Structure 1
């Protein structure tokens, strides 16, 4: 296993990310990211930039969603003929090579989960103003769920999933398996090309489920949940589901970029990439059968690849149940760069069952033990 750390904090080390990137460049970028992240976490509402307010010409059809003036009987194909609800988006349209744009400044709450069908599509905003808000309010498991669809871009949205009365301190208010953005799949082989950027994902109040552990877990947390049942709630989650067939081949994610997002106070984690463990030939996450005799190679290990997590501001400090900042599992040939994590409840940046991962120019601080956990590390 090869894990390379360059410049664990921007205050330490002077390694170069590439021939064209200097340590001073990265330090300045982190300073700007810190200013942006702090402002948003402390109440400044993120706004759609001018460069992102015009629909892209790279897609065949643009569909517009307007929560105030829209009508689900409209065609949806112009701002003046926009749809109104998420339910209409989910109603059967194939969005292959299309884009779905929510009006800036509008608000959709309580569901249903936004789950469009198709390949090579974009979910974003149109117009100028505040990010469109999609709020699950703890009434739906996922605010956005992309299942077995790839070549997907998601940007310029404010996503939350907060149970009524949850304040980050009372575990009895948490609800199991809540997620903000959930990218998942099964029985597909390779799912590729995801780009999640310029998002504000916050206040997902899911329960905390640990892999193992012992003792008395606090309200809102539990022990001995196993790999697949643990660390499964939070802000942005990529995971693989149980296959439907005994002979199903491994499903993996490839070419994923998660960048330039503000992510805060999400329980369990901020950004999570998981692989399915399962049993026997479906133990794709695990490398436990690798022994010295076979060079520590695991015959069933099926890792994700080319995962890039960069330039994200992750602050978990205001919730007693907001634990990992970045959790990357069962992956290879990937990079975690230029992120800031603060106040995490276990680890700022955690990797498990990984090969050839570069971790560089990240600023990690303030990790503490939360919700019955045993760790409080910067990078693990």
Structure 2
């Protein structure tokens, strides 16, 4: 049996030549029988043997490298044994019969590349291959910077088309040599695509439950040349820009699950050009750390050129610690939605003690949802929102800051202590908004730094124990009070953080009874069904911060049921529905009651096939103190379609009211199929507005949706072609938009367009429309812009192309979605 201490695994100079030969790739031999298991034993094996049992095992990597395998075959290495050199797989499996590579016996087999090969394990232009339970290294001296950066496990495809079924699971990849800085596409586990002749992409890539540690480059990363002339980082990847395709073909459906990445000198997990990916349950600790060269230190988990990625239930901690971390890091954050990424969802994560901050967004990343996360003791800049990041919505996060400093290193080897620069950096006005958050800011970092354009703030809580906490001037609903959370700020245990520990840690940030954060928020149109600890996001105004206190609801009806269940009305899933009994006797009602009073100001009805089965005449009642009171009487509802797409109509209440129940009284309905049906019944509290032209001093974008005509928003200057984004409290189908303004002849918009964001896609729903204002007084006038066709969205963007600019800005008192 070979020795297992890591020191004995490093090749000496005297044996290096032999080790290269044992791992070299030679020409492929004849195909072997399909569905066969082949065994390798580094001590007792014999390459002349059949290899099909432990007693007739092969011995060398060369034997495997020279063999062709069939779908359904397995290659098994003796646990506890050591092989030196490289393993190259050039045979594929199928979806039904993958080629599998793994271990037998006790312990992990070790394959040590000893820097004799670029990648210790190479999956070369293959598909449907599963690799599990191996230990992989590629090092001779991790303590120094080397001119070449190596890889542990590397899957590469070129001009192959779809590459399905690659699984890299439960491996231990460690001690991989390199430059000791950020070298993309190199490091522990890398998956890449090259070439520009045949569009090539990995589908269903699964990188799961691996430990990746002590890497002088990236932990886990992907790259592709099919990235629409993207930045390929040729100095790092070694790929010339001439090889980069002008077309885009991203990976699809990749999974990065439950990995433990630590002590790497670059990014921990870096998916690039991986659409519809899921990054879940990973722990990244001390990434961008122990640099061997003076450089930036990336982010713990960051993605680039990626559409519709979900990043959830991850822990990222201590990013950017160790030698040579730059004194003014652009990176060093836990999470980074990087250039060209769209429709990212970042939720239920925990960030702790990261040297550069919590979250970064930059360079054409857009439509980012950052919600229900906790940041604890993240340094320097908790939020770094750089130019080009557009339409960020950061809501219901708890950012538990610090007054501590972090050690920074200068290029001359000296160090200094760096405190917080700013709590929020927002370099350019780009329609970004932070609302419903709890910001504990003992370092008293500013919310608007220097010449930065102002972030849009609303309904946040600000606290720092001073009694006079800092707050931004443009949050009209700011709360400055101790949030009274359960047990915030506690240290995590060392090692990989499992789901149970993560949920317990998140629960420490729940509001206690009587907290000023309770029910103090505003409804979010894109809110999930629940927070990270499975408490339902309630109807009406939610709690501030990452954890909701439990509120239950129950639904009932007087109209019977012919399909679905009445509970479907409030399950947060618009694909489910409830239908009344056939031939219902109207009027009748559907009611929702809550375990405590909720503050609500509107009801949103979601209905599919509205022209065939949607209610057409309704009342709305609210319940308080056991008494039902009619708030809206005889409201007509006009449905614009008769398809499976859910249409959302808003029924506004005259005023915001506290209520412990809401009732929809259906007086008339479309009954094409003999029943009325509703997919969702959602009571909401408030809306959110975001400006992408800044706010004139003393005004706030939120004033345009507060329902108070006497308050107003004004642009910070005369920039045209931008304007206001409005988020209703739930999805809404809009037929018209009413603009209200005082001094319209001096500051009213005169030409506007409207776009709607629905399912991550922006669509222009109103072409350029001219408006004329009659007065130039404090009296508020209203103008209505009609949509040619009703449009559904979670954000509506009012673009001001022309305006009266007497005072160098344009202004609106109220924007109403009808």
Rounded to whole Å, the distance in 2 between the matches of 1:114 and 1:188 is 18
Task: Report if aligned partners of 1:90, 1:117 keep a CA contact under 8 Å in 2.
Answer: no
Query: Within 2, Cα distance between the matches of 1:184 and 1:105?
Result: 28
- C-alpha distance in 1 between matches for 2:198 and 2:278: 26
1:114 and 2:57 correspond: no
1:89 shift after superposition: 0.5
Matched, 1:324 2:267: yes
1:87 is matched with 62
Contact 2:37 2:53 in 1 (8 A): yes
Compared CA separation, residues 80 and 240, structure 1 to 2 (3 A) = same
Match in the other structure for 2:186: 233
Question: SS of 1:356's equivalent?
Answer: coil
CA distance in 1: counterparts of 2:175 and 2:202, whole angstroms: 26
Q: Deviations over 1:274-312 (max 9, x none)?
A: 11158xxx73788xxxxxxxxxxx982211110110111
Secondary structure, counterpart of 1:75 in structure 2: coil
Structure 2 match to 1:283: 229
Distance 1:267 1:97 in 2: 35
Residue deviations 1:99-122, cap 9 Å, x none?
10001111001x143334232301
Q: 2:131 is matched with which residue? A: 154
Q: Which structure 2 residues correspond to residues 185-224 of structure 1 after superposition, within 5 A? A: 185-207=157-179
Tell me, what secondary structure is at the counterpart of 1:108? strand
* 1:96 aligns to 2:71 (yes or no): yes
Q: Which has the higher contact order (CA 8 A, sep 6+)?
A: 1
The TM-score, its normalising length taken from structure 1, stands at 0.68
Of residues 123, 137, 152 in structure 1, which corresponds to 2:101?
Answer: 123
- What is the distance in 1 between the residues matched to 2:63 and 2:100? 16
Q: Which residue of structure 2 aligns with residue 376 of structure 1? A: 332
1:204–1:266 Cα contact (<8 Å) kept: yes
- Map 1:51-62 to 2 at 5 A: 60-62=35-37
For 1:207 and 1:256, how far apart are their aligned partners in 2?
27
Equivalents in 1 of 2:121, 2:80: separation in Å? Answer: 18
Counterpart CA distance in 1 for 2:221 and 2:268 is: 8
Rg: which structure is higher?
Answer: 2
Aligned partners of 1:136 and 1:142 also within 8 Å = yes
* 2:253 is the counterpart of 1:306: yes
CA contact (8 A) 1:185 1:241 kept: yes
- Report Cα offsets for 1:73-99 as digits up to 9, x if no partner: 001111111100000011132343201
In 2: Cα distance, 1:60 partner to 1:285 partner: 42
| Aligned residue number for residue 267 of structure 1 | 216
Out of 24, 42, 49, the residue aligned to residue 67 of structure 1 is: 42
In structure 2, what is the Cα distance between the partners aligned to 1:277 and 1:234?
21
Q: Cα 1:268–1:167, aligned 2, differ >3 Å: closer, same or farther?
A: closer
CA RMSD, 1 decimal: 2.4
Deviation at 1:140, TM superposition (A): 1.1
For the 8 Å contact 1:208–1:233, the answer to whether it is kept is no
Aligned to 2:299: 347
Q: Is the 8 A contact 1:71 1:81 kept in 2?
A: yes
Q: Which runs of 5+ in 2 are unaligned?
A: 1-5, 8-33, 233-244, 289-297, 337-818
2:39, 2:53 within 8 Å by CA — same for their partners in 1?
Answer: yes
Residues in 1 aligned to 2:166 and 2:47: alpha-carbon distance in whole angstroms: 28
Q: Deviations over 1:112-160 (max 9, x none)?
A: 4333423230110011x22000001111111110111100100011001
The structure 1 residue matched to 2:277, chosen from 334, 338, 352, is: 334
Give the TM-score taking structure 2 as reference length: 0.32
Contact 2:226–2:249 (Cα < 8 Å) also in 1? no
Secondary structure of 1:154's match? strand
Distance (whole Å) between structure 2 residues aligned to residue 371 and residue 157 of structure 1: 32
Q: 1:141 to 1:161 in 2, by over 3 A?
A: same
Higher helix content, 1 or 2? 1
Whether 1:184 and 2:167 are equivalent positions in the alignment is no
Task: Report if the CA contact (8 A) 1:311-1:338 is conserved.
Answer: yes
Kept in 2: contact 1:113–1:140 (CA 8 A)? no
Listed one character per residue, the Cα deviations across residues 163-204 of structure 1 (whole Å, up to 9, x for unaligned) are: x2x233x22xx2513100000111111101111111100111
Q: Distance in 1 between matches of 2:213 and 2:181?
A: 19
Distance 1:354 1:139, change over 3 A: same
**CA–CA distance in 1 between the matches of 2:266 and 2:181?**
11
Residue in structure 2 matched with residue 250 of structure 1 by the alignment: 199
**1:209 Cα deviation from its structure 2 partner:** 6.7
Render the CA deviation track for 1:211-230: whole Å, top value 9, x for unaligned. xxxxxxxxxxxxxxxxxxx5
Do 2:92 and 2:128's aligned partners in 1 also have CA atoms closer than 8 Å? no
Change (3 A) 1:153 1:284: farther
Contact 2:175 2:213 in 1 (8 A): yes
Question: Contact between 2:179 and 2:217, CA under 8 Å: does it hold in 1?
Answer: yes
- Higher mean displacement: 111-120 or 137-146: 111-120
C-alpha contact (below 8 Å) 1:269/1:323 kept by paired residues? yes
* Matches of 1:330 and 1:360, distance apart in 2: 18
Larger proportion of strand: 2
